[in-house]
Amino acid sequence: MSLAIKVPTVGESITEVTLASWKKKDGDRVEMDEVIAELESDKATFELTAEKAGTLKIVAAEGDVLAIGAVVANIEDGGAEAAVPAPAKEAAPAAQPQPEVVANAPAPAPVAAAPAASGSDSIEIKVPTVGESITEVTLSRWIKKDGEAVAMDEAIAELESDKATFELTAEKAGILKTLAKEGDVLPIGAVVCTIEGAGAATPAATPVTPAVVSATDESPQGGAAAESAKTYASGTPSPAAAKILAEKGVAAGSVAGTGVDGRITKGDALNAQAAPVKPATAPAAATPTTAPATATTSTGERSEKREKMTSLRKTVAKRLVSVKNETAMLTTFNEVDMQPIMELRAKYKDKFKEKHNVGLGFMSFFTKAVTEALKDWPAVGARIEGEEIVYSNFADISIAVSAPKGLVVPVIRNADSMSLAEIEKAIVVLAGKARENKLTIPEMTGGTFTITNGGVFGSMLSTPIINAPQSAILGMHNIIERPVAVNGQVVIRPMMYLALSYDHRIIDGRESVSFLVRVKQLLEDPARLLLGV
């Protein structure tokens, strides 16, 4: 009896995927939940697993574009024949000796080492599961080198996803054998390296491990002293510190760590960045004629640095280029007198925070003004799907947030039915998740209109790019006191430029300009937001 393996549902807006690669071959024996293929959508890459054990019969080929629910492969029963040899093979070589070798590694037990020599005393270190929406990571750098001895729980590599950077640690002590290279993109569960051997091989490879072993075997006083003097963390830089040291060309071994267990912190790296350069040029200054030439070539003023794009940056780049190529994007501008809102905030911000436990910012006013303007001009919040225009009777407002890994756009659901306080609270929660790289895919998809605030960085004017599949985006800018004419007199007012970029295929000039004028009216007379006029 065979079981059909189909393309699973991976998201509301995803209707098809591409079969990127097969992890198992046609006719291979597969176990239940074993990864058999890698599928790729326009938003993420994910793994396809076997739903039962058996023999794999491939139906689709690599590169095929498959609809959700399409059959990718079949798994046929072959359990009786294939299941018997498998345990026999595992029992003979090294499935059972592994825990014995780990347990006996620190102890002087040559008898336990003899069976280990006949087997392959090694374990595989795989990419761990780091989040629901993360399907692959990038191996940014190796902290330990191939062939080096590593201690249990020691950081051996640094992995990077589109949301966070984290360390990969050794699951046992032994000799590191690297399999993946720096810069490789690895799916969750992929083997990164193996750790071979344990106690016997470690002293021969490096003098560090005997120090740790002796700390265990010697007297309590000697062990405690050795442990406090040197641990596996000693001299290991944090990810931020490693990046700074690499940019400055400073070896980690020349920096004294002040962090926990001697780890090199970001502060240590910043303080050490100038130190290694000057001593290197100082001895060369013994010959006055050659010193200036050496100093000139080592300054690095014309140096170049290459960095691999993160997964998030690649996705953002692909989407932005797609929008520019596939939409008839146009931008219209206007300006807003911010004095009424600033006076309102100054008057009520303390009482507002006391009652609602959240600050009163500009973004809630702009969000509320946009939701009111969308009621009058619904085409601005519509989108094109094929040959149809989809209008929404709700307003899910996307707010652009600058996160550590790049720009993200979380969505405030049903913002049109929320109060200013509820909008402010939603913004605080989403912005906090963005800074901590904890936003989920559903929290960043499905918006009907986007607001971006370049003013927080000092931008005076810009033409924001539409956040597809939406049809419009409002750009806020910095507030500058400028002379303006009011009732025939020149006065100084805090003014802000607004920019509305829109898809001219669906939004006409009359609608775009009228929408922006409506937003301007609501902001310059905030009472309209409360009265709905």
List 26, 416, 508, 525, catalytic entry: 508
pLDDT attached to residue 260: 61
Owner of token pair 């009520």: 348
pLDDT of residue 153: 84
Give catalytic status of residue 356 as yes or no. Answer: no
The pLDDT of residue 273? 53
What the chain holds in terms of domains, given with CATH numbers, is: 2-87 (2.40.50.100), 94-229 (2.40.50.100), 239-298 (no CATH), 312-531 (3.30.559.10)
Which of 146, 184, 504, 525 is labelled catalytic?
504
Phi-psi group of 27: left, alpha or beta (phi > 0 → left; psi -120 to 50 → alpha; rest → beta): left
Encoded tokens for 118: 């006949």
C-alpha to C-alpha distance for 103 and 137, rounded to whole angstroms:
32
Active site residue 64: no
Question: In this predicted structure, what is the pLDDT of residue 293?
Answer: 47
pLDDT at 480: 94
Per-residue pLDDT tens listing for the chain (533 residues): 788 899 888 765 677 888 888 999 998 998 888 889 988 876 667 788 888 889 999 999 988 888 888 999 999 886 444 444 444 444 444 444 444 434 344 444 443 333 333 345 788 899 888 765 678 888 888 999 888 999 888 889 988 776 567 788 888 889 999 999 888 888 888 999 999 875 433 343 344 333 333 333 443 444 444 444 555 557 777 766 777 777 777 777 777 777 766 778 777 777 775 444 444 444 444 444 444 444 444 555 888 888 877 767 777 788 888 888 888 999 999 999 999 999 999 999 899 999 999 999 999 999 999 999 999 999 999 999 988 999 999 999 999 988 777 788 999 999 999 999 999 999 999 988 888 878 888 888 889 999 999 988 889 999 999 998 999 999 999 999 999 999 999 999 999 999 999 999 999 999 999 999 999 999 999 988 877 76
User: Residue 176: helix, strand or coil by DSSP?
Assistant: strand
Nearest-angstrom CA–CA distance, 346 and 186: 52
CA distance 452 to 473: 7
